[in-house]
Structure 1
Amino acid sequence: MMELNPIQLFQKLIQIDTTNELGTEKDAALFLYEWLTKLGIQAEIIYSPNGRANLIARLEAGNTLPQAREPLVLLSHLDVVSAQEEDWTYPPFSGTLHDGKIWGRGTLDTKQLTVMHLNAFLQLNKKKSLLNRNVYFLATADEENGSREGMEFLAKYYPEIFRNATVLSEGGGFTLCGDLEHEYMLFASGEKGTAKVAIQTRGIGGHAGSPPDDQAILKLSKVINDLTDIDFPNKIYPVITAFQKGIQHERFATRPKDGELSTKLYDYMQSPTLMVENIQIGDQINVIPYKSEALMEFRTLPHQDKDEVLEMFTTLFKGFDLEWELIYFQKGYESQVDSPLMQVFQEKAKCIGFMGDWIPFTALGKTDGRFISELAGNIYGLSPLLTPFTEVLKRVHNKDECLEVDSFLFGVQLMESVLDEYCINSGGG
């Protein structure tokens, strides 16, 4: 079989249209499955009840250790968001290599990570008798639409894969540039939780030609305005402490955009955030409704459990004329900020030219880690790239999504080097 070429594999994976709405992850899963099984690797495509394909491959620990260490799970997703070809410079599913970049949907979310993981996984297979732990490679479905057919399904029916595991997933691995002599590599070592609250206000309804003062919609408007103006109290937890200690903001004098992002990340991590997801204020013409409803989503701090969140809402809604109900809660998580694995990443990065500090942060948005936070040991968002975080945020889910070849190959080389150290007998923690 031909030696794996990461760039060619990356291009081929991009060329397989796995737009979430199409549900065609199977095509990419089969492509990867063939690579793995031809090398004698134990692999399986697991289908969700609605037929979405999730690929799982496994390397078992060798028999030279009295006891294997905790498993390592390499987690990425195959589906991508939709793309309108007419808006793109190069077709979104072409994997075009031009001007030192690979262009296409999924180059940053997360087919680049799939290839980084697969390359390292295949290299470990060459030394499988020396493995000090079980290593799993997962490429899943449906992440872009909530993961019901992907990680939510897998975590429920295959929990043994994730129990006490260290998990490498998406959500970090991007640089912040300070002055010319200093850079930072940000890795996600925590994630906020999600709390959805249904709010209802009641008032006097009637004809729109004679509107009453005590309208439900006016009450709801006041609630929303007041809540969105609230400054939640800041909380310090280990990720914030490490971020604050590691980032020297004065270094951003010549890099104001990076400095601005650093400040926004710090603010985001310190307190819960709020967005209004939906508002219902009646659907009849010329009629003032007697009740109005809103669905609000709060991103809670990683350590906040359900009891603490309920207590927070009880205090928050006191004084408002409303009814509320917590209809959904999913706790966040935080992982060890200075684990042996993260130390290996920093050491190996220096060997290939990245001399910057590695800084933990709380991930923006939601990742598949949320489904296994109660099962896994540590979960890290890390797709190591040289591409600045500010640039990644501009490109991901946008037209002309692309990734520099040298940035991608840095991640490929680093992932391979780190996992070789971490997963072979003499290395790891």
Structure 2
Amino acid sequence: MIDWPALHREALDIFVRYLQIDTSNPPGNEKPAARFLGALLEAEGIETEYIETAPNREVMVARLHGDGSKRALMLCNHTDVVPVEAQYWDMPAFEGVVKDGRVYGRGAIDMKGTGVMQLIAFLLLKRQGMALRRDVVFCAVPDEEAGSALGMQWLCEHRPDLVDVEFELSEGGTGASRFAGKQVQLFNVATNEKYASGGLKLTAVGTPGHGSRPHADNSAIHLMRALIKLHDWDRGITYTPDTVAYLERLAEAGLMPPLADKAAVEEQIRRSPALYAAFVNTLNVTMVNSGIKINVIPARSQAFLDCRLLPGQDPEAWRQQVIDFIDDDRIQVEFARQTSGRLPKPAEWDTELFWTINAVIKEAMEDAVVVPAMTVGATDNRFLRDRGIPAYGFIPCLLSSEEAAGFHGNNEFLTVENLNMGCELMYEVVRRMCV
């Protein structure tokens, strides 16, 4: 028997201390987080390995050995978090404040909370002396928030032995407590994701001049007109095999109109930014740079746009669409940074792992709806899917809309209730897969 109240207290203590480690990326500095997690495992007699990918950047890997009758399951999480604009937070971002049933801190949702859920499942298997059919690998990686070149991508390229697994669980799919205005228990298991194209850099060149005179060739004005035009661009709704399957399952559960009623379906899609993102190439202005002095009209102005492309979209064709839509020779459009160029591959969802997740959640919550889904952001799963591994995004919590807004947002938090739920569901999924 598991003393879950005691485990919940242990998980909360670990979670709070983990959130207190500032692993903002850039610069990263994830080594203290890797050592923190590793020390918890070493204290239980579990051998751990620390792999340096750059100064103060480490991967931490541990393994529980099975009898080899089935191939390994990996529990993967990233230790880095996005930076904080502290002046916009009501709580300190790196103190792990617990207040009113919430645990505040950068990384609470993305993804130190899930890392703790995986850790508790891993520790429980060891403490209970379970006879495992397959190895269970716990892997904490750096650099996910900056593209994974020093994290999962590095691991796949330099230590392929560690990612030689049958299945993997990481971030990407979450549960939701509300959908389309209804109270629900909806769990998304992410089997695919959009392509982070590297973003776009727009450069406008004009004629510099004195700020005291009327001026018709201001690079900042050219750039702003292009940005407003792109912001107002209605690119319609694009259906992919993943999103069609998603809509069909939601319709079966009574959460969406039937696909035959296209107008009603698209009206509901457009009402939710989170849902709409799965049906369109997204484009958002994130940085704008212009000018050198208040009385000098800028010769050059630049803007950076975050772009996430739907599966099957060609990045170069997308760049050309943007150029054609702006239709202004004074605006140069190029990719903001280089990417691997490898488009994400979907993972098969009709697998032992998916149906185990489905069974565990259905037994815990009779009215729950479990669906394969697509992540609108980039995750480390893409590197494993590229190797043919069913890598799923699975955060076993029912997030409120306020909680879900914490992804890269201010006042990020996870409720204690969700932390407890996540620990129990994660453990049961892993136990059934491996024991």
Q: Shorter-chain TM-score category?
A: 0.7 to 0.9
Change in 2 beyond 3 A, CA 1:146/1:251: closer
Residue 333 of structure 2: which of 324, 335, 342 is its match?
A: 324
- CA shift, 1:275, in A, is 1.6
Distance apart, 1:228 and its partner CA: 2.0
Match of 1:427 in 2: none
Match of 1:276 in 2: 285
Secondary structure in structure 2 of the residue aligned to 1:415: helix
Partner of 2:434: 423
Query: Partner amino acid for 2:16?
Result: I
Structure 2 equivalent of residue 309 of structure 1: 315
Q: Match for residue 370 of structure 2?
A: 358
Q: For residue 121 of structure 1, what is the aligned residue in structure 2? A: 122
1:212-241 deviations in Å (ceiling 9; x for gaps): 434433332232222222222432223211
Matching residue of 1:232: 235
Taking the TM superposition and a 5 Å limit, the aligned residue runs for 1:74-153 are 74-80=75-81, 93=95, 96=98, 100-102=101-103, 106-125=107-126, 130-132=132-134, 134-144=135-145, 147=148, 149-153=150-154
Over aligned residue pairs, what C-alpha RMSD do you find?
3.7
- Cα distance in structure 1, aligned partners of 2:224 and 2:322: 16
Shift of 1:310: 0.8
Q: SS of the counterpart of 2:204? A: strand
Match of 1:32 among 31, 37, 51: 37
Query: Cα–Cα, structure 1 residues 250 and 72, in superposed 2: closer, same or farther, change >3 Å?
Result: closer
Q: Secondary structure at the match of 2:172?
A: coil
Q: Distance in 1 between matches of 2:93 and 2:205?
A: 51
Residue aligning to 1:188: 190
Measure, in 2, the Cα distance between the counterparts of 1:99 and 1:85: 22
CA shift, 1:12, in A, is 2.8
Q: In the alignment, which residue of structure 2 is the partner of 1:15?
A: 17
Letter in 1 for 2:220: I
Taking a change above 3 Å as real, the CA distance of residues 221 and 136 of structure 1, as seen in their structure-2 partners, is same
Aligned-pair CA distance for 1:270: 0.7
Q: Is the 8 A contact 2:107 2:412 kept in 1?
A: no
CA distance in 1, matches of 2:276, 2:426: 30
Q: How high is the TM-score relative to the length of structure 1?
A: 0.80
CA shift at 1:271, angstroms?
Answer: 1.0
Aligned residue type for 1:199: L
Structure 1 residues 28, 95: CA separation in 2 closer, same or farther (over 3 Å shift)? farther
Are 1:384 and 1:410, in contact at CA under 8 Å, matched by a contact in 2?
yes
Deviation at 1:347, TM superposition (A): 0.8
Cross-structure match for 1:381: 393
Asked if structure 1 preserves the Cα contact closer than 8 Å seen for 2:172 and 2:393, the reply is yes
Please, which moves more after superposition, 3-12 or 187-196?
3-12
1:344 maps to: 356
Query: How many angstroms apart in 1 are the aligned matches of 2:85 and 2:17?
Result: 13
Secondary structure of 2:397's counterpart equals coil
| Cα distance change of structure 1 residues 361 and 157 upon mapping to structure 2, 3 Å threshold | same
Amino acid at match of 1:11: D
Aligned to 1:217: 220
Q: Which moved more, 1:84-93 or 1:46-55?
A: 84-93
- Preserved CA contact (<8 Å) 2:193 2:311: yes
Q: Choose the corresponding residue for 1:45, options 39, 44, 50.
A: 50
Q: Partner letter of residue 50 of structure 1?
A: P
The equivalences for 1:376-415 within 5 A come to 377-388=389-400, 390-395=401-406, 397-399=409-411, 401-405=413-417, 407-415=418-426
Per the alignment, do residues 231 and 50 of structure 1 end up closer, same or farther by CA in structure 2, a change over 3 Å counting? same
Q: Answer whether contact 1:348 1:418 (CA < 8 A) is retained.
A: yes
User: Is the Cα contact below 8 Å between 2:186 and 2:368 reproduced in 1?
Assistant: yes
Aligned length: 407
Judging changes above 3 Å, is the alpha-carbon distance between structure 1 residues 58 and 367 closer, same or farther for their aligned structure 2 residues?
A: same
Deviation readout 1:234-289 (Å, 9 max, x if unpaired):
32223211221122497599xxxxx8897333311011011223333331443334
Amino acid of the structure 1 residue aligned with 2:52: Y
Residues 172 and 187 in structure 1, CA contact (< 8 A), matched pair in contact too: yes
The runs of 5 or more residues in structure 2 that have no matched partner are 258-267
Partner of 1:293: 302
Read off the aligned partner of 1:42 and give its amino acid letter: E
Deviates more, 1:116-125 or 1:49-58: 116-125
Opposite residue 385 of structure 1, the aligned amino acid is: C
Q: After TM superposition, give the deviation of residue 395 of structure 1 in Å.
A: 4.6
Shift, 1:194, TM fit: 1.9
1:266 equivalent in alignment to 2:278: no
Deviation at 1:137, TM superposition (A): 0.5
Alpha-carbon distance in 1 for matches of 2:87, 2:276: 37
Asked if the contact 1:151–1:371 (Cα under 8 Å) also holds between the matched residues in 2, the reply is yes
Q: Is the 8 A contact 1:185 1:357 kept in 2?
A: yes
Shift of 1:55: 1.3
**1:75 corresponds to which letter in structure 2?**
C
Q: Give 3-state SS (helix, strand or coil) of 1:377's partner.
A: coil
Are the equivalent residues in 1 in contact too, given 2:270–2:276 (CA < 8 A)? no
- Show the counterpart of 1:54: 59
Specify the SS of the correspondent of 1:328: coil
Q: Which moved more, 1:268-277 or 1:346-355?
A: 346-355
Contact 1:187 1:361 in 2 (8 A): yes
CA separation of 1:30 and 1:181: change in aligned 2, threshold 3 A: closer
Q: CA deviation at 1:99?
A: 5.3
Q: Is the 8 A contact 1:172 1:188 kept in 2?
A: yes
TM-score norm. by structure 2 comes to: 0.79
Q: 1:309 to 1:233 in 2, by over 3 A?
A: farther
Question: Corresponding residue for 1:256?
Answer: none
Residues in 1 aligned to 2:93 and 2:215: alpha-carbon distance in whole angstroms: 56
Q: CA deviation at 1:86?
A: 12
